[in-house]
Structure 1
C-alpha cells in the first residue's frame, strides 16, 4: 500500500510563513504610510489614530488586536490564536524597523497603492494558508468562511471599504480614492486566491 503524503504544514514551514507573510505586509504598510493612505480593519484604525495623534503605528496596531484573541481562541483554536498573536507582533515590529532599513526617495501614489495593496494581500494570503492571520477582522472573516463558506476576501473588502469611507472626515478626497483602491487591491488578492475548498491547509 502506498501512503498518501501529509499535507500538514511542518513547524518550520509555519515559522517561515509567519516571517515572510508579515514582512510582505509590513512593506505594503510602509508604502501606504509613506503617501498617507488608509486601509481597512484594525490596520486602518491604527493608521487613523497614527495620523491623528502621532502615536506609534506598530504599538497601536498591536493593542487594537488584543480583544480579538478571545474570539480566535474560542472559535479557531489555540494554534490559530498563537500564530495570529505572533503575526501581529511581528508586523508591529517590522513596521517600526523597516523605516530604518529602507526608505523611498520617489514613490508614485498610484504605484504605492497597487504594489502596497498587492504586498499586503499576498502577506495575508500566506498567513491564511498557514492557519494564521493579522488579527482583528481577519479573525472574524476567516471564522465566517470556515463556518458558513462566505468568501473571506469579499467580506473583508466590504468591512475594509466601510472603514476607509469613515476617513473622509480626516483625509482629502484624493487620498480617500486611492485608499479605497488599495482596499480593493488587498481584498481582491484574497478573493481570487483564497476560496473555501480550493486550498485547505491542515
Structure 2
C-alpha cells in the first residue's frame, strides 16, 4: 500500500527563538566586520554595499562605519516592501552591529601587514559565512543582499549568482579608484570566494523557514 501524502509530508521546522536570532546576528555581523577590516587593511574593493562603503571611505573622509550606514539606508524601503517587517528590522540591526564592530575591532586588533591575496581569501570566506548565518535567520547585511535574497525567494534565482553579477560591476568601478592591478585582481578574488560560499551553500528551497 503506497504511503499517504500525510506520511510523506515533512514536519514543519520550528522557528528560531528570539535568543537564537540574536546570537546569530551577533555572530554573523562580527564575522562580517572582521572580513571588512581585512579588506580595508589590504586596500581591497569588494562587492555589494560593503564594497560601495569601502569606495566611499577611500574616496572621502567618511569613516567606514558611517559609510556602511549611509550606503545601506536607501535599501530598507525595498526590504520592508518585499521581504517583510521582521526581515527589515533584523537587517537594520545587523547593519548597525556590523558598523559598530567595524569601529570596535581596529581598537582591539592591530593588523600590521596582510597580503592582498590573503585578505581576499580570508575576508571573502568570513563575509560569505556571515551572510549564510544571517540568511538562515531571515536577515542580511542590507543593500544588494536584500535584492539577491528577494530574487531567490521570488523567482528561484541563485542568490550567489545574482550577487556575483552585481558585485562584478562594483569591483570594476572600484578598480578605477584603486588604480592598482594587484589589488584589483585580489578584489575580484574576494568577490569570487564570497559568492562561491553562497552559491554552494544557499540553494532555493532549503533555508527559508525556521
TM-score, normalised to structure 2, is: 0.91
Which entry has the higher C-alpha Rg, 1 or 2?
A: 2
**Aligned equivalent of 2:164:** 157
Q: RMSD of aligned C-alpha atoms?
A: 1.2
- How far 1:42 sits from its partner (Å)? 1.3
Distance in 2 between residues matched to 1:14 and 1:186, nearest whole Å:
22
**Aligned equivalent of 2:135:** 128
Q: What is the SS of the residue equivalent to 2:73?
A: coil
**Aligned equivalent of 2:34:** 27
Q: Deviations over 1:69-106 (max 9, x none)?
A: 11111111000000000000001111011000112133
Distance in 2 between residues matched to 1:60 and 1:169, nearest whole Å:
19
1:181 pairs with 2:186: no
Whether the aligned pair in 2 keeps the contact of 1:9 and 1:201 (CA below 8 Å) is no
- How far 1:184 sits from its partner (Å)? 0.6
- How far 1:5 sits from its partner (Å)? 7.4
Distance in 2 between residues matched to 1:109 and 1:44, nearest whole Å:
15
1:196 pairs with 2:199: no
Distance in 2 between residues matched to 1:52 and 1:195, nearest whole Å:
36
TM-score, normalised to structure 1, is: 0.95
Task: Choose which of 81, 84, 97 in structure 1 pairs with 2:88.
Answer: 81
Distance in 2 between residues matched to 1:30 and 1:185, nearest whole Å:
17
Task: Choose which of 105, 111, 118 in structure 1 pairs with 2:112.
Answer: 105
The total of aligned residue pairs comes to: 199
Distance in 2 between residues matched to 1:12 and 1:49, nearest whole Å:
34
Whether the aligned pair in 2 keeps the contact of 1:40 and 1:163 (CA below 8 Å) is yes
Q: Which runs of 4+ in 1 moved over 4 A?
A: none
